[in-house]
């Protein structure tokens, strides 16, 4: 369910076993008297059922919060690394398999400029939020 989060429910375990003993006993004169074989075969079955169901529900809610935190962390790191690439003058090549990973990260100033231009138009040019695309014809006010 997440790192270090384990929500146990009802569990059944099956454990087979074998204990074997093959011996050659010696008598008082250290002579072999016989050969003895003792073998035990068996299995053990365990049933474990939690007595308090609310613990399982609480564990699931903790796991859901952890999953949401991990998703947020992923998005923040993705945005930070894409912004670092853009600040250094790099971008991911359009059409590559990972291009969409950074296609929604733009500088705030670019967004505000494009938004102001789009609000001045009745129909904004497409796509106004991606300034690195070829420019579209200017809209008529």
- The answer, as to whether pTM is greater than 0.75, is no
How far is the C-alpha of 27 from the C-alpha of 25, rounded, in Å?
A: 7
Q: Residue 72: what pLDDT?
A: 96
Tell me the DSSP string of 94-121.
Answer: TTSTTGGGTTT---HHHHHHHHHHHHHS
In what helix (H) or strand (E) does residue 45 lie, and over which residues does it extend?
A: strand 36-48
Tokens 């003895």 correspond to what residue?
Answer: 36
Q: Residue 28: what pLDDT?
A: 76
Three-state DSSP at 23 gives: strand
Per-residue confidence in pLDDT tens, the chain, 141 aa: 557 777 777 889 999 999 888 777 777 777 777 777 788 889 999 998 877 778 888 888 998 999 999 999 999 999 999 999 989 999 889 889 988 898 888 888 888 888 887 777 655 556 656 666 555 555 554
């Amino acid at each position: 369910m997440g790192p270090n989060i384990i929500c146990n429910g009802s569990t059944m375990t099956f454990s087979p076993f074998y204990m074997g003993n093959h011996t050659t006993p010696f008598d008082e004169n250290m002579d072999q008297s016989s050969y003895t074989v003792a073998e035990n075969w068996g299995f053990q079955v365990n049933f474990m059922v939690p007595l308090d169901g609310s613990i399982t529900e609480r564990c699931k809610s903790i796991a859901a919060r952890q999953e949401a935190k991990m998703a947020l962390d992923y998005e923040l790191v993705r945005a930070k690394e894409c912004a670092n690439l853009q600040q250094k003058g790099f971008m991911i090549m359009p059409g590559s398999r990972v291009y969409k990973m950074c296609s929604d990260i733009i500088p705030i100033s670019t967004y505000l400029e494009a938004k102001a231009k789009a609000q001045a138009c009745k129909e904004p040019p497409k796509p106004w939020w991606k300034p690195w695309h070829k420019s579209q014809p200017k809209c008529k006010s």
